[in-house]
Amino acid sequence: MTGISSKTIYAVAALHELSMIQNDAVLKIKAIAERANVPQNFLEQILLELRKQNILHSVKGAHGGYRLAKQLKDITLKDIVMVLETDALSDVCRTNNPTLKLFWEDIREGVANVFDMPLSELKNYQQKANHTLNYSI
């Protein structure tokens, strides 16, 4: 079990940008990278992995790009972590001590439960950010 890497952070940022377009529209990688403030070369690898796992859909051609393959409410942070983090939520206990095994299993389950948050929650955070910005001016 490890922390969240830049890959996952960038993936969530890209998915957030894709969630803000109309259902039938697509965004090119360059536009996603600019809007999400993510390095384009790194983003290409991330989007490819998400496409392979049917989280994203790609459209080829001059007017092609990426769009969500599912509604944001059907994608959880855990889905993204499991795709992009090789040892996320893995068994970290390296001992046969039953006390420590139980302890680390409870920690792993707790983290997994937190990661079950649907990415549609980003809309709530967007509203909070907009509300905060209105009062900060």
- pTM for the model stands at 0.81
Whether residue 95 is contained in a domain is answered as yes
Q: Which domain holds residue 35?
A: 6-136
For the stretch 77-105, pLDDT in tens is 989 988 888 666 666 667 788 898 888 88
Whether residue 30 is contained in a domain is answered as yes
Spatial contact of 50 and 18, defined as CB atoms under 8 Å apart: no
Q: What is the CATH number of the domain that holds 39?
A: 1.10.10.10
> Is the Cα dihedral 32, 38, 40, 43 positive or negative?
negative
Whether residue 1 is contained in a domain is answered as no
Spatial contact of 101 and 93, defined as CB atoms under 8 Å apart: yes
Give the separation between CA 112 and CA 74, rounded to whole angstroms: 16
Give the separation between CA 41 and CA 17, rounded to whole angstroms: 17
Give the chain's domain count: 1
For the stretch 57-69, pLDDT in tens is 999 998 899 999 9
Q: Of the ranges 29-38, 50-59, 70-79, which one carries the lowest mean pLDDT score? A: 70-79
Spatial contact of 68 and 62, defined as CB atoms under 8 Å apart: no
